[in-house]
Structure 1
Amino acid sequence: MAKIPPFDVEQWMDKYETIPGVLNVAETCCSSISVQDLTRFNTRQNAPAPLDLSTRLTYGAIRGSDELRRNIAALYEHGSSSLPFSPDSVIVTQGAISANHLVFYSQIGAGDHVICVFPTYQQLYSIPKTLGAEVTLWELKEENGWVPNVDALEGLVKANTKMIVINNPNNPTGAIIPTSILAQIVGVAQKHDIILFSDEVYRPLFHSISAGHAPPSVVSMDYKKTIVTSSMSKAWALAGIRVGWVASPDEGIIKDITVARDYTTISVSRIDDQIANYALSPEVRPGLIARNLELAKTNLELLDQFVKDHASVVSWVRPVAGTTAFMKFKIGDKLAEDEEFCKHLLDTTKVMLLPGSKCFGHGETFKVFVRIGYVSETAILKAGLRQLSRYVKKYSLK
């Protein structure tokens, strides 16, 4: 097994986000809420509390409670797939980060080949490499709106290709893979009998897509060898409960992941399971996602106006989903180098952004990009953009 490389995005966040007075506009979760806040979204009369305080704190249901897995399964029931999908198709994990790890640990090994979109969350290409797999990066292009090129994908497939990894909506760009392109990717996977794994942790935060045009989950697309992961952290504003999941219509894949999971964690906290179940219940889920979509729309307009106000020195592909955007800044007549820019910005203004090449696409390809997270509290984003505006005027317009 190869040595595990540093997880750069987490290292960067750990190092800088606790600086006193930092304006953290690198955060990727919708502005977090409390359990008390959660109760305000419940439309049921005389609704039970999110927590049953009489519950004995045993290990609980090993794969996640039936109620929670039923509510998670309901998130995937609206596609066109004829494949059966039920609570048995879902395993609850400690966050999406654990879910992703279990997918690779159970499915990938030495001699396998993995194709992964790029830029993306580092875990998605670093972990299979540490497991001995060959990893080919399927590069997304800014000029294509960060939408993957399926013709390029066909050229990357090898005889030993075991898995294609996508991230939809994409972190860090905020782009989506449209339904027509997603169908082509499914077709490539099906043609070559390859597992298609989609990290969908930002689903269903499709804040800038008209009704009916959001892409489906890959487990809703009539191909059995599909896997998705997600969590309560990003779109659901509940990172603190550390609940995620793996879902697949393939019983063999679910069995493999269940076996692997026994070596990592027996179960999730019964308290966390109850809160997640409450949040995803039919009475609470619509109000919660509506709150987060509205926050995303409000904050994205603020960020869009910032880009327009500084169009001579700031550029981007406007995100349509999720909570992040990939941006470029000019210093004088040159594009700013990402890590140097982020450190200087933090030192002089306490505004925290993330460097693109260090955290999402190692090497030179994304060295002029930085990631911003814009679905934090609106007041924090406003304060951060004010400072960023002052910085841009001082250092860029020379």
Structure 2
Amino acid sequence: MVRIEPFGVEQWMDKYETSAKYNIAETCCASISVNELLELAERKPEELLDLSTALTYGEIRGSTKLRENLARLYSTKVGTPLPAENILIQPGAIAANFLVFYSLVGPGDHVICHYPTYQQLYSVPASLGAEVDLWKALPENEWVPDVEELKRLIKPNTKLIVINNPQNPTGKVLGKTLLQQIIDIAAEHEITILSDEVYRPLFHGISPMDREFPPSILSMGYKNTISTGSLSKAYSLAGVRVGWLASRNPEIIEKCAEARDYTAISMSILDQQVAAFALSPDAVHGLLARNIGLAKKNLELLERFVVKHDEYCTWVKPVAGTTAFVKFERDGSPVDAVEFCKRLQEKTGVMFLPGNKGFGEEFQGYVRIGYVNHTDVVKDGLEALRMFMRKEYDDLPLAE
């Protein structure tokens, strides 16, 4: 029997998000409808959904149109275009990540995982029998992990290095130089790299002109790399359950495709029609412009709050993605984040995610804030938080 740790983030979200008045724990950019997607498009199709299509399994590995649009996005400013055949469509990035682990990792293998990060990325390989070591990033180093520590973690049986770029929950990125160092280490030992890029391309605090701007792992010239993504986070379409995995190595794709026969079989034809349009040149630029603008505007609101309450709050300001990791303290000690989040939501309707519940017990006092919801939700939620801080904060218990 497979034994797996309870999924802290998802259990908390499942329990509290439906009753939140101000959900600023949500990690997706403010969701949109199909009609709103059409409004954002530069050119609207005569018919978005082909309702005459027979609802068969469709193209087993994913629709050609969708995979071609993804391949185009991965091939921007790259000398060697990514073939559409090197992409597999999955029901969300969570399924794409699971398929990679299920296909490539088992007992006797060693996995190194960038941390803190989404729990799936280390709990699933451990459940499959792999030994997992965490490559820890620290706030005092602005959440950038030490490449020398990565070298020390390498073992003869290291099969996979897992990174999350941009990173959940901190909103930081692994820059181009560090990515190249990771690739050099992996190539020396013939290790595959899985990069969860679900928050890409939502960059709002670092410019593509910056020399450290992080390209996709598929653009770095190393064949044994895998990128995963979805329409949920940066593209505001979580209800379209479409994600993907892509690799420059067709052998990796074939291994995953073989395992995929036992899991997804195929994806919804209708979902893929919406997804293909969202990622088309007609729609993707307007959609991303809307979400990057929303992220910038809302992050200013959150930064203003943190600065005003700097005797209680510390953070490393995010530069990408939708989440911030903020530490709350009192008298030099972290507050009990679980109790903080429970009382905050009970008294104000504001929802946060406690860091020690979602990302490990070492993150006492931390909360993850998802700030790319609708601006009025973030603004009103932060005002409700401000009132809570005035009236209730001093009565919160401290972390043990």
Q: TM-score range by the shorter chain?
A: over 0.9
Q: Does 1:196 align with 2:196?
A: no
What corresponds to 1:149 in structure 2? Answer: 146
Matched residues in 2 for 1:247 and 1:262: separation? 17
What corresponds to 2:234 in structure 1? Answer: 235
What corresponds to 1:164 in structure 2? Answer: 161
Residues 4-50 of structure 1 deviation map (CA, whole Å, 9 limit, x = unaligned): 2211111101111112x532110000000010111112223x63332
Q: Does 1:9 align with 2:13?
A: no
Matched residues in 2 for 1:81 and 1:103: separation? 26
Q: Does 1:374 align with 2:366?
A: no
Contact 1:332-1:397 within 8 A present in 2 as well: no
SS of the residue 2:297 aligns to? helix
Residues 61-82 of structure 1 deviation map (CA, whole Å, 9 limit, x = unaligned): 1111111001011121135565
What corresponds to 1:98 in structure 2? Answer: 95
Q: Which amino acid aligns with 1:16?
A: Y
**Residue 335 of structure 1, CA deviation:** 1.8
**Residue 55 of structure 1, CA deviation:** 1.5
Q: Does 1:176 align with 2:173?
A: yes
Q: Does 1:32 align with 2:11?
A: no
SS of the residue 1:104 aligns to? helix
Given the alignment, which residue of 51, 63, 66 partners 2:64?
66
Matched residues in 1 for 2:176 and 2:78: separation? 12
- Structure 2: segments with no counterpart, 5+ residues: 396-400
Structure 1-normalised TM-score? 0.96
- 1:1-398 aligned at under 5 Å gives the runs 2-19=2-19, 22-44=21-43, 47-78=45-76, 80=78, 82=80, 85-213=82-210, 214-360=213-359, 362-363=360-361, 365-396=362-393
SS of the residue 1:240 aligns to? coil
Matched residues in 2 for 1:133 and 1:286: separation? 40
**Residue 308 of structure 1, CA deviation:** 1.2
Matched residues in 2 for 1:149 and 1:159: separation? 20
SS of the residue 1:239 aligns to? coil
Q: Which amino acid aligns with 2:185?
A: V
- Structure 1: segments with no counterpart, 5+ residues: none
Could you tell which deviates more after superposition, 51-60 or 199-208? 51-60
Residues 165-197 of structure 1 deviation map (CA, whole Å, 9 limit, x = unaligned): 000000000000011111111111111110011
Q: Which amino acid aligns with 1:372?
A: I
SS of the residue 1:166 aligns to? strand
Matched residues in 2 for 1:346 and 1:396: separation? 13
**Residue 341 of structure 1, CA deviation:** 1.6
Matched residues in 2 for 1:81 and 1:156: separation? 33
**Residue 86 of structure 1, CA deviation:** 0.8
Residues 281-333 of structure 1 deviation map (CA, whole Å, 9 limit, x = unaligned): 01111111001100001110111111111111111000000000000112355
Structure 2-normalised TM-score? 0.95
Matched residues in 2 for 1:252 and 1:324: separation? 34
SS of the residue 1:241 aligns to? coil
Contact 1:230-1:244 within 8 A present in 2 as well: yes
Residues 239-297 of structure 1 deviation map (CA, whole Å, 9 limit, x = unaligned): 00100000001111000110111111121110100000000001111111001100001
Contact 1:164-1:195 within 8 A present in 2 as well: yes
Identity %: 54
Q: Which amino acid aligns with 2:155?
A: K
Rate the CA distance shift 1:332–1:387 in 2: closer, same or farther, 3 A. farther
Contact 1:313-1:396 within 8 A present in 2 as well: no
Give the aligned length.
393
Residues 332-372 of structure 1 deviation map (CA, whole Å, 9 limit, x = unaligned): 55321221221222222221111112212x23x21221100
**Residue 2 of structure 1, CA deviation:** 4.2
Moved over 3 A (4+): 79-82, 395-398
CA RMSD of aligned residues (A): 1.4
Matched residues in 2 for 1:38 and 1:333: separation? 47
Could you tell which deviates more after superposition, 300-309 or 121-130? 300-309
Contact 2:111-2:130 within 8 A present in 1 as well: yes
Matched residues in 1 for 2:328 and 2:46: separation? 50
